A and B are shown apart, each in its own frame.
Chain A
Amino acid sequence: MTYSATAQPSYLQDTGGRTGLMAWIASTDHKRIGVLYLVSMLSFFSIGVGIGFVMRLVQLTTFQHLITAQTYNALFTVHGVVMIFLFVIPGLGAVFGNFFLPILIGAKDVAFPRLNLASWYFFMTGAILAILSLFTGGGAPDTGWTFYAPFSIKTGTNVSLAIFGATILGFSSMLTGINFITTIHRLRAPGMEWFRMPLMCWAVYSTSWVQILATPILAITLVLVILERFFGIGIFDPTKGGDPVLYQHLFWIYSHPAVYIMILPAMGAITEIIPTFARRTIFGYKAIAFSSLAIAGVGSLVWAHHMFTSGMSGFAQMLFSLLTMIVAVPSAIKVFNWVSTLYKGSIDFQPPLLFALTFIFLFCIGGLTGVMQGALAINVHVHDTYFIVGHFHYVMFGGTGFAFFAALLYWFPKMFGKMYSKKAIYASWFPMFIGFNMLYFGMLILGMMGMPRRYYVHLPQFHPMHVFATVGSWLLVLGLLIYFGTLLTALFKGEKAEDNPWGGVTLEWTIPSPPPLENFEEIPTITTGPYHYAEGKK
């Protein structure tokens, strides 16, 4: 497909008559909203990284230094809240889902553009409230990001405001989910059948359902905590007949599916990247599409594996352990399909592929340690240790984080019309990858040795591994700095990117870089599957 030489101006130039900041924060263009999310989320991400960096510094010694123990409690709480609610949950869905979902299905925008902008405002309001809670009231929350009752009810710190912020963030997530589902149902281009959609769309679609079905539970649970704090309604308070374990159930009924809100769009992006650089169609299209739905479905039934030590019947424990094992199957299906796609592909090795492969490697470690913990006997021993911390950083950071970096490298030329220095990106990968594994594999080992999570100081026998992990964190941060420095440089001084720098065949590569305001001059008519490379005929 081609476009005429007198193409429309790009979305970056066409501001619809608004100027300055208003051109961004009052725009209902899905691409600009995607960029808004990108900028705000990366800002929050850098705060989260900074806090994590300080926490690692604290673990350099076995005695109290730098900050007090109470501050440490606040730091791991805020690190969790910022990273989870402000970075990985909106994650790839909010940035690349917003920017590319309409383009991938051949639409001009999402179904409800104004609601889309409102979602970003909800997101920012929630984020600002959560950050305000650090500096106001009784001090930064110290409950951990899980806000477990009864401590969250009793603590004098500013939990109410943080929780209120998280509730509002939930609304943002729900509204985005509603918007994306309606978009996929209603705005697919002519001929864009369900099984012709790029798999990113299936991932976003599955995620949106989880956002709709799980997030309200979090909202109501957090509202109950607020009511508990202000009025003492007693539902989670054992002295009034309530039950704190009920809080845990309600919390994880949302927060475990939330893990799939974080990872599914990441898997979707990886599924776009792999066929492009293997130059062949994806292996097992339907298996990947249905595995997304299966993850969304089964993932909603495993929440209590976070609570094996909280008090549950043995039967319930066995059931949840079994279900947890089952949810690994659709994830594994995806991994096998990615690898099979690469097999006998004509591989063009580029930075996005490197990060995508890194994702697969790190996600496998995260996933397999997850299956380990799904086993009851192991779980009871490693519960609340660094093993858990290492595991979920492999999944969330090694998984979603690296997929985010891969997706950003893949779509950056399209989004901003600039190409970055590939050499500098390769240079950032080495410290990032080595540092990451030193830091989090170190944590896995520490956990196996018995180091509990959330402790301010540690015993001498854990010390060498702590130092090892902290050095890893420095390398990791160094890699991140090079990575984002490279992209920032490219943004201002990069060479102009081609319209299709990677030789992709999905719809976004058929339009100019950066795309014009209305995406397509003429809504395309789709006649083939999404990955119709010459070699990969069906």
Chain B
Amino acid sequence: MSEHAHRDDFGSKLGMWLFLVTEMVLFGGLFIAYSVMRHRYPAEFHHGGAELNATLAVINTLALLTSSLTVVMSIVATQRGEIKRAMALLGTTVGLGAVFLVIKSFEWAAKFHHGIYPSSAHLATLPPGEQVFFGLYFSITGLHGLHVIAGMGVLSWVLWMMARGRVRADRYIHLENSGLYWHLVDVIWIFLLPLFYLAS
């Protein structure tokens, strides 16, 4: 219908923040489940956490933190009109996201290899608290992984828009908003790291 002449970057950002609130509440539900179960099975959660690979998780944390930094730098570069630089920085973010996923997949594969996956025969021999721990582990890190993929998709789309000249120094709200989304993905991971990997 009518293409609205007015443009409201503040409004767009407000909408994005509200969306981020829904995402936080979404994970909040999982954190509630985690708290309840950890309260019930403290020893099992301790034991389960010890079986996770904290080194890989810390490397992944560094990858995500760096990727958030490059998004911010990309925004600054766009504001200055250095689009090529901005694209390189944004590309780095997407690449670091891919690094995160690759490491994550190695980590999951190792777990599968040891017979730890939902409904596995080995898992059934573990005490109930550990079964729940791994159930939560796979659900939450899996859902987070999907968010990483979604974030990479959105950032790639912005990259494409930059190449087409639709994101530029006087119009970068798409980059800013998708950057906000990426920070959220990052922040959630910051919570997952201590809850699972450093729990022991």
Measured CB to CB, the residues of A under 8 A from B are 16, 27-29, 108-109, 111-113, 115, 174, 177-179, 181-182, 185-187, 212-217, 219-221, 223-224, 227, 231-235, 239-243, 246, 249-250, 253, 517-518
Contact = CB atoms under 8 A, between A and B. Distances in A.
A240 B18 contact: no
Given A115-B15, A187-B11, 4 more contacts: A113-B1, A221-B29, A227-B118, A233-B136
Interface of B: 1-2, 4, 8, 10-11, 14-15, 18-19, 21-23, 25-30, 32-33, 36-37, 40-41, 44, 118-119, 124, 127-132, 135-136, 138-139, 143
A182 B139 contact: no
A340 to B, nearest CB: 35
Contacts of A185: 11, 14
A108 B2 CA distance: 10
A234 B118 contact: yes
A181 B18 contact: yes
Contacts of A109: 2, 4
19 contacts: A27-B1, A111-B15, A174-B19, A186-B11, A213-B21, A220-B26, A220-B143, A224-B139, A232-B118, A234-B131, A235-B135, A240-B128, A240-B132, A241-B41, A241-B127, A241-B129, A243-B37, A243-B40, A518-B2
Contacts of A111: 8, 11, 15
Contacts of B1: 16, 27-29, 113, 517
A234 B119 CA distance: 8
Contacts of B29: 216-217, 220-221, 250, 253
A240 B127 CA distance: 8
Nearest to A211: B22
Contacts of B32: 249-250, 253
A246 B55 CA distance: 32
Given A111-B8, A231-B118, A240 B28 contact: no
Given A113-B1, A182-B14, A213 B36 contact: no
B139 A112 contact: no
Contact of B119 (A108, A221, A231): A231
B132 A242 contact: yes
Given A111-B15, A246-B36, A517 B2 contact: yes
B49 to A, nearest CB: 16
A178 B26 contact: no
Q: Give me the 10 closest cross-chain CB pairs, A-B, nearest first.
A: A241-B128, A232-B119, A233-B135, A216-B26, A220-B29, A216-B25, A231-B118, A186-B11, A241-B132, A234-B135
A179 B15 contact: yes
B22 A242 contact: no
Contact of A217 (B10, B28, B136, B139): B28
Given A243-B36, A517-B2, A518-B2, A234 B14 contact: no
B39 to A, nearest CB: 11
A161 to B, nearest CB: 20
Given A27-B1, A29-B1, A186-B10, A233 B26 contact: no
Contact of B2 (A16, A240, A242): A16
A369 B41 CA distance: 40
Given A109-B4, A186-B14, A233 B22 contact: no
B138 A216 contact: no
Contacts of A187: 11
Contacts of B138: 231, 233
Contact of A182 (B2, B11, B26, B37): B11
Nearest to A219: B26
A235 B136 contact: yes
A35 B30 CA distance: 37
A357 B10 CA distance: 42
B15 A182 contact: yes
A240 B139 contact: no
A115 B12 CA distance: 11
A213 B128 contact: no
Contacts of A231: 118-119, 138
Contacts of A108: 2, 4
B36 to A, nearest CB: 6
A23 to B, nearest CB: 10
Contacts of A179: 15
A250 B32 CA distance: 9
Nearest to B26: A216
A178 B18 contact: yes
A230 to B, nearest CB: 9
A174 B27 CA distance: 15
Contacts of A181: 14, 18
A475 B50 CA distance: 66
Nearest to B124: A240
Nearest to B16: A178
A186 B11 CA distance: 6
A174 to B, nearest CB: 5
Contacts of A112: 15
A233 B139 contact: yes
Nearest to B19: A178
A177 B131 CA distance: 37
Nearest to A242: B132
Nearest to B118: A231
Contacts of B127: 241
